[in-house]
Structure 1
Amino acid sequence: MDSTKAEVGYSHGGFSLDSTGAGAVSRGFDVFRHGWQTQVGDGFPLPTFSRATTGDFRVRSRVAKVRDVAITDLDSASVIRTAGTPYGYADQARMYVVRRGVWSLGGGPDRAEHTVPAGQFLLRHGPPLHFGAAPHTTVQILTLPSAVFDVRLRNRSFTASAGSAEMRLLLAHTNMVHATVTDLGPAGVHAAHGAMIELAKAVVAGRFDDAEAALRPPLVEAAKVLADSHLADPELSAAMLAGELNVSVRTLQRAFTVAGESVTSYIRHRRLEEARRALATRSRLPSVAELAAYWQFSDSSHFVRAFKKRYGQTPVEYARSVRAAGP
């Protein structure tokens, strides 16, 4: 189970669980509850679950928290059913995105029952509802501050297709958050949180206009987080990032251009930055050829020219100046 990094102003953490294997079922729910309480926290209280669920908790799950947003992925091999919902955190909204099976909710003030089949999502604004699912159901639950959405949605629920471009982009981003949440620093937490908020708003708005200014910043930030985790990958490119984020290359490039740079220049500058850090911090000075190869420059000459243009010194000159300065 991953450890949480929680600091004032950018609380975040995550954990994963697979209780579908032999020997894991009897303690599966206790492990899940402990992970939730220690990694996610009191801002997102767990509901009370039925005895049938706690006694036979066969799920694959991953949970991430980024400030006031929580992402819960559940892939269940057993029945999941609540026996009561907690109080005191009604000022939240939940988005249930069903990928397989059927997710059911009910027990709200209006007593309405909601059934969400695969390929649909339900947004609930207000107090949580009882929920349940048959075995072999896969769902993502995104918990957000209610202020994200229009006041006209208050204490209401609505269902829509989960196949929109907005939803594909949101799901791509939440997958990245799951993969990186425990390693994010303050800037990464801020970017990941902002992107989720803006993309969730775009899903509800029911439109994705790649010329809309409000969506460009979160798209750029999501691309940067993804690029930063693949800087040494020879396949890293605008096309790869666009594919992972489920947008066109043109859309991604336009968003970066508005932000004042290109995708290619961002990747090159970040690679140079990491190369410079290696020259300044490693006890063994890496060779120019090693750095050029590792950070995906075509050859040593190209790397040296790019480094000098960026920092005003060749890599060797920079390394010597750092060592001459000393601690």
Structure 2
Amino acid sequence: MEDVADPALSRGRTIDFKTNINLTARQIQETEHLFQDWEGGPLAHLTRLSIPNQSAYPGFKFSARGHLFDGLLSVKVYCDSLAGTSGNYLDQDPVVADLVTSGRIVFTGKEGSHTVTPGRICIRDTKASWEFSCAPATHVRVVRIPRHLVFSRIGSTRVLNQAYLSDVTAPEVRFLVNFLESIEKSSTELERSTSAQSIALDACATVFSGMLSDSSVSGIQDHPNATVRAAKNVIERNLDRNDLSPALIAQMVGVSLRTLHRSFAESDDSIMAFARRRRLEKAHGELVRMGSTAKVSEIAARWQFSDASHFIRQFKAFYGATPAAYLRNYGSAGRTS
């Protein structure tokens, strides 16, 4: 295990933060306190950590790299399967944002459970304490900021009891990501100027407080376009699953089933109509690519159509011809062009 960063040393200056853990299955079984080096460090809000038994073989990897200054931590993390608690019910527990790029993290608190999938962000006050579980091979950008800086701008603990969830395409999330990238590129300037550090810290606290305040009266629950975008992203990544359903999609997006249906009611598609169309388009691409070697029954099964005849009917209704006739016409068009 390697850990480079001491919060006391970071005051007044910018430092690189780097942590690496690489454990074999034997080390996991024989070591009692795997994460004790994190106590008192930038990741001290993570407690009661455990590696699920089913994920212990062949080992466990965790890495984080980024920057830390004056309590603001911004790191890119890779984590294998891990479970624990985020927060200690203490005033000094930070406000934390997790922007997932691959894998999945589930946070469960008093206000409910939230599943953060690729392309989603979750911002929460860790004083409220959240149980979490991280899927294997998860990549996530973690941003941590002192709680008092956010609280002073909101002034309401009720707001901080809730989590902010959104899609990465939301304007405020894009602004946050761009802002963090600019901080990383300006680490040398921040190292030289405490006033620049103060400005960056204040700006980040303002962005966080604004997003959390909005979540108390709006957020993704009441933004149909954001919910639909997030749901479509989930559907795209899970088209080959035979258990894909509105309930599963709602769970993975982090909204109620009722909210999901209500959001799609304001769009041109129903939830599963969009999924069927995308499956047809994927099957169509595969059919054209394979040409005469294509096996309709295999394509139908791969894209979760109940049987070949059902797939043929759906294909004809959408493309105006059966798969076989479509391929003949497609081949003829290719030869005459």
Give TM-score, length-normalised by structure 1.
Answer: 0.49
Question: Which structure would you say has the larger Rg?
Answer: 2
Give TM-score, length-normalised by structure 2.
Answer: 0.48
